[in-house]
Amino acid sequence: MTIVYDDTETQGDVPVRRIRFTINGEKKIAEVEPRLLLAHLIRRGLGLTGTHTGCDTTNCGACTVLVDGRPVKSCTMLAVQVDGHEVSTVEGLATASELHPLQEGFKEEHGLQCGFCTPGMMMAAKALLDSNPDPTEEEIRWALSGNLCRCTGYQNIVKSVLWAAAKLRSESAG
């Protein structure tokens, strides 16, 4: 990935840092200003626009990605901080041939309307299911309490996660 700037006097001298990281299983190198937020590295640097930004006070969770498997709000992490780490975004959920059960579940149970909070919601849900394959409704609502949705009222999001959990359990059993 290359970032190109106009070669003005001071612009050309802005210090950047070289980082190496993995994104959805692919190894990358990037040269970034320290102040670049991880969300912007993902969206603008890598062109992975599935991760969204929705607020400026670390509340809404639309920017949620996984870093080393744990959900973080990518708007509140510096890009330089993923040097040496693994980042997973919504674009990495599906394989070439199959959707992730969470993606299927959200469609089956009408867990999205405008779709803007959905990637962040699914990543947070994925982390939940990775550690708790059989969550109760209460546990799901608790785990997703850092992700805001304006459209759905959450009831169908809960059903979507329950649907996905059931499918994942039957896949691992079967």
What is the C-alpha to C-alpha distance for residues 153 and 95, in angstroms, rounded to an integer?
A: 29
Q: Which of 1, 18, 20, 34 binds another protein (CB under 8 A)?
A: 34
Minimum gap (Å) between residue 25 Cβ and another protein: 15
Q: Which of 30, 37, 46, 168 binds another protein (CB under 8 A)?
A: 37
Q: Which of residues 100-159 bind another protein (CB under 8 A)?
A: 103, 106-108, 110, 112-119, 122, 124, 140-158
Q: Which of 23, 30, 46, 75 binds another protein (CB under 8 A)?
A: 75
Minimum gap (Å) between residue 167 Cβ and another protein: 14
Minimum gap (Å) between residue 150 Cβ and another protein: 5
- Asked if 35 touches another protein (CB under 8 A), the answer is yes
Minimum gap (Å) between residue 91 Cβ and another protein: 5
Closer residue to another protein, CB minimum distance, 155 or 170: 155
